[in-house]
Structure 1
Amino acid sequence: MRTDQLVSTFVEYYEERGHRRITGSTLLPPDGDPVLFTTSGMHPLTPYLEGRPHPLGRRLVNVQRCLRTTDLDEVGDATHLTVFEMLGTWSLGDYGGPRSLDWGYGLLTEGLGVDPGLLYATAFGGDGRTGPDTASVELWQGLGVPVELTVEDNWWPNDSAGPCGPDSEIFLWTGEGPPRSTPTRDDRWVEVWNHVTMTHRRLDDGSLVPLPRRNVDTGLGLERLASLLQGESSVFACDVFDPWRRLVPARWPLDEPSLRLVCDHLRSAVVVLGDGVRPANTGRGYVLRRLVRRVLTVLWRDDPSRGVGDLPVELVEHTLDHFRQDLRPDDVLRMLIEEEHRFRGLLERGRGVLAKPRFRGTLSEEDLRYLHDTHGLPRELVLSLREE
């Protein structure tokens, strides 16, 4: 099942159950939001999860593009992407967590053909403030799905203010042979779907207050699920990356981890540019700048003559079309090339500065601050140049 078929199957399944499809937003959160990028499907819906009525009703479904800067250092493994799409469903004070889990199980096993024997669930085991999620445990036991109780791993989100609550996660076995062990003890169990029952709001001081109504928020990573359903061991092997894996190695021979990083970061840079962000030294623009510079660092490691101008325009067109963005491909390539020229100039200047006697020894924190504030040399760039 290709990703476009997976999206239509998902949306139609929930539309048949009374959900209205809402249009996913761009990567940019609303004005005044302190977060740089939309990080999850629930992010644009926070006001409605806190009680505001949604104009389309109390049952919603959508596809939302997301970017998580916290995953940048994980990119290159089998499951992490910088920009990805999240399939999501919401119950705004309507049905509860058990019904959401029951429908999720039905879509996976009947709609998508997943073998029930390859599923495992986790649920919140309770802590000193709230009790265990017995409703989810009973639902899974009734379906014959094994369930493991945890504490920190099954309260979401567990590190920021806003709506939160116990969650039950669905895992799929990806190992050879019959399933074994549990999700917390064997990483061959891969998380595919997170169902959160929003019961509380976390305040800035970490305390919890009950929400006036309970909501359900679910998130299912599109590329991750597609790779599993397509029998692939990596998100980079699903059909979304087919044109990238066909065209990039012909331009730049790379080892597998480097190929994954280059494809991910260039694809992500195109999406970020398509949503209106431009390279800068702070904020969203600096995230974009980091993506491009990391690509160039990898490309130049083996051949300094390589450049983003060699990127096939078909890949830019494919990405803009996939995310329904109207920026011209030629404009995207022009901005990437301009950023490459700036980076080459910065590297040349940085090498000259670091060659001065003052910086030949061990660099202190004061040195690193001076290099950043006076010469515009970011810490990671300085450390990279010192390793040359």
Structure 2
Amino acid sequence: MDTEQIVRTFTDYYREHGHRRITGSTLLPDPGDPVLFTSAGMHPLTPYLEGRPHPLGRRLVNVQRCLRTTDLEEVGDSRHLTVFQMLGTWSLGDYEGSRSLDWAHRLLTEGLGVDPGLLHATVYGGGEQVGPDTESLRLWQERGVPVELTVDDNWWSNGPVGPCGPDSEIFLWSGDTPPRSTPTGDDRWVEVWNHVMMRHRRLDDGRLVPLPQRNVDTGLGLERLASLLQGRSSVFECDIFEPWRRTLPSLWPLDEPSFRVVWDHLRSAVVVVGDGIRPSNTGRGYVLRRLVRRLLTVLWREDSSRGVGDLPVELITHTSDHFRQDVDPGLVRGLLVEEERRFRQLLERGRNVLARPRFRGPLGEEDLAYLHDTHGLPRDLVTSLRGEGDPGTDGGGAVRP
């Protein structure tokens, strides 16, 4: 199946089970939400998980685009993306977790053709305030799916306070040998679907109190599932990335890990711009700026003449179409080219300033503050220009919002 077929199969299946499809929102949370970007499908639904009636009812399904900066250190491996699509379902005080897991098992094995012998599940094993999830454990045992009990790995929360609860995760074997070990013991078990029994709210003092209703919130990464169903060893090899893989290697000769970072960050930048964000020194605009700087750093390692102006418009159009965005590809590329120009100027200014005798020795906090406030040189850029990291990173490769 290609990704479009997977989406249709998923949404049609849940519609047949009484779910109404809601329109996936942009990457931008509602006003007042403290997060910079939507990082999970549940973000736009938080008020309804907390008890507000949803206009479409208690059973919902959607496809939500998400952005996660917390996984940036992992981008370049075979599984992680900065911007991705999440297939999601919700029971807002309707059915329980065991029914959700039963439907998921049937969809994977009957609807998507997954060999049942390649599945493994994990279940919450219990903690100080909440006991083990025996309901989910019993369901998996009845289905003949191996189960591993964990504690921290199977408790979901969206922060130190707020809605939370035990979860059951479904893993698919990706190895070229018969399945072995468990998800915590062998990383060839790839997590594909998380079912959160969102029944609690964590208070500031750490106590858990019941939510007004018992919910189920599930999320399944589309690109990761597509790569596994298509027999690919990496998310970057699934059909979504086929135009990128066909076009860019001849344009920019890079090793595979570098290609993955460049593809991911370029694609993510296109989507962020498509949702109306522009580069800046604060907030969401700073995340976009750091993504562009990081991909340029990788692109320039061997050849500083490379630039995003070489990016074919067709790839911008392909990405915008995939994420259902109506945006002028020429505008997107022009914005990226302008951001590249600004970064080149900043690097040149930074090198000239740091060549002054005052800055040749160790730099203190006063020096770093002066360089930032007077010359517009962020701490991480100063560190990188002095040979302690890559420009566009925080020294460890992460993009900091």
TM-score, with normalisation over the residues of structure 2? 0.95
Q: Distance in 1 between matches of 2:369 and 2:205?
A: 31
Please report how far the alpha carbon of residue 382 of structure 1 lies from its aligned counterpart in structure 2 after TM superposition: 1.6
Q: Distance in 1 between matches of 2:347 and 2:106?
A: 54
Please report how far the alpha carbon of residue 162 of structure 1 lies from its aligned counterpart in structure 2 after TM superposition: 1.6
State whether structure 2 residue 256 is matched by structure 1 residue 247. no
Residue 301 of structure 2 aligns to a residue whose secondary structure is helix
Hey, what does 2:60 align to over in structure 1? 60
Amino acid at match of 1:147: V
Q: Give percent identity, aligned residues only.
A: 78
Q: Distance in 2 between matches of 1:363 and 1:243?
A: 46
Q: Distance in 2 between matches of 1:132 and 1:268?
A: 39
Residue 266 of structure 1 aligns to a residue whose secondary structure is helix
Please report how far the alpha carbon of residue 251 of structure 1 lies from its aligned counterpart in structure 2 after TM superposition: 1.0
Deviations 1:359-382 (A, max 9, x none): 222333443333223321122212
Hey, what does 1:98 align to over in structure 2? 98
Coordinate RMSD, CA, aligned: 1.1
Residue 51 of structure 2 aligns to a residue whose secondary structure is coil
> After the TM superposition, which of the residue ranges 159-168 and 75-84 deviates more from structure 2?
159-168
> After the TM superposition, which of the residue ranges 96-105 and 169-178 deviates more from structure 2?
169-178
Residue 318 of structure 2 aligns to a residue whose secondary structure is helix
Amino acid at match of 1:263: W
* 38 and 121 in structure 1: CA distance in 2 versus 1, 3 angstrom threshold: same
Q: Distance in 2 between matches of 1:370 and 1:71?
A: 32
Hey, what does 1:7 align to over in structure 2? 7
Hey, what does 1:121 align to over in structure 2? 121
Q: Distance in 2 between matches of 1:84 and 1:333?
A: 20
State whether structure 2 residue 8 is matched by structure 1 residue 47. no
* 159 and 195 in structure 1: CA distance in 2 versus 1, 3 angstrom threshold: same
Please report how far the alpha carbon of residue 322 of structure 1 lies from its aligned counterpart in structure 2 after TM superposition: 1.1
Q: Distance in 1 between matches of 2:365 and 2:147?
A: 48
Q: Distance in 2 between matches of 1:373 and 1:145?
A: 58
Q: Distance in 2 between matches of 1:219 and 1:209?
A: 24
Gaps of 5+ in 1: none
Residue 169 of structure 2 aligns to a residue whose secondary structure is strand
Please report how far the alpha carbon of residue 203 of structure 1 lies from its aligned counterpart in structure 2 after TM superposition: 2.1
Residue 290 of structure 2 aligns to a residue whose secondary structure is helix
State whether structure 2 residue 268 is matched by structure 1 residue 268. yes
Deviations 1:183-232 (A, max 9, x none): 11111111000000011011233321111210000000000000000001
Hey, what does 1:206 align to over in structure 2? 206
Residue 156 of structure 1 aligns to a residue whose secondary structure is strand
Residue 168 of structure 2 aligns to a residue whose secondary structure is strand
Q: How many residues align?
A: 388
Contact in 2 for aligned 1:96/1:214 (Cα 8 Å) = yes
Please report how far the alpha carbon of residue 164 of structure 1 lies from its aligned counterpart in structure 2 after TM superposition: 0.7
Amino acid at match of 2:186: D
Amino acid at match of 1:372: H
Q: Distance in 1 between matches of 2:124 and 2:183?
A: 14
Deviations 1:132-155 (A, max 9, x none): 000000000000011111111101
Hey, what does 1:111 align to over in structure 2? 111
Hey, what does 1:131 align to over in structure 2? 131
Amino acid at match of 2:198: M
State whether structure 2 residue 283 is matched by structure 1 residue 283. yes
Deviations 1:213-262 (A, max 9, x none): 10000000000000000001110000000001111112111100110000
> After the TM superposition, which of the residue ranges 150-159 and 302-311 deviates more from structure 2?
150-159
Please report how far the alpha carbon of residue 326 of structure 1 lies from its aligned counterpart in structure 2 after TM superposition: 1.4
State whether structure 2 residue 359 is matched by structure 1 residue 359. yes
Hey, what does 1:236 align to over in structure 2? 236
Please report how far the alpha carbon of residue 87 of structure 1 lies from its aligned counterpart in structure 2 after TM superposition: 0.1
Hey, what does 2:224 align to over in structure 1? 224
Hey, what does 2:312 align to over in structure 1? 312
* 310 and 158 in structure 1: CA distance in 2 versus 1, 3 angstrom threshold: closer
Q: Distance in 2 between matches of 1:290 and 1:113?
A: 40
Residue 318 of structure 1 aligns to a residue whose secondary structure is helix
> After the TM superposition, which of the residue ranges 171-180 and 14-23 deviates more from structure 2?
171-180
> After the TM superposition, which of the residue ranges 105-114 and 196-205 deviates more from structure 2?
196-205
Hey, what does 2:73 align to over in structure 1? 73
Please report how far the alpha carbon of residue 337 of structure 1 lies from its aligned counterpart in structure 2 after TM superposition: 0.7
Residue 212 of structure 1 aligns to a residue whose secondary structure is coil
Hey, what does 1:372 align to over in structure 2? 372
TM-score, with normalisation over the residues of structure 1? 0.98
Please report how far the alpha carbon of residue 270 of structure 1 lies from its aligned counterpart in structure 2 after TM superposition: 0.4
Please report how far the alpha carbon of residue 321 of structure 1 lies from its aligned counterpart in structure 2 after TM superposition: 1.1
Please report how far the alpha carbon of residue 358 of structure 1 lies from its aligned counterpart in structure 2 after TM superposition: 2.3
State whether structure 2 residue 185 is matched by structure 1 residue 185. yes
Q: Distance in 2 between matches of 1:205 and 1:342?
A: 46
Amino acid at match of 2:191: E
Please report how far the alpha carbon of residue 325 of structure 1 lies from its aligned counterpart in structure 2 after TM superposition: 1.2
Q: Distance in 2 between matches of 1:386 and 1:10?
A: 51
Gaps of 5+ in 2: 391-401
* 205 and 15 in structure 1: CA distance in 2 versus 1, 3 angstrom threshold: same
Amino acid at match of 1:113: G
Please report how far the alpha carbon of residue 158 of structure 1 lies from its aligned counterpart in structure 2 after TM superposition: 6.3
Hey, what does 1:34 align to over in structure 2? 34
Amino acid at match of 1:378: P
Contact in 2 for aligned 1:152/1:158 (Cα 8 Å) = no
Q: Distance in 2 between matches of 1:259 and 1:65?
A: 22
Deviations 1:6-46 (A, max 9, x none): 00000000000000000000000001111000000001000
Amino acid at match of 2:201: R
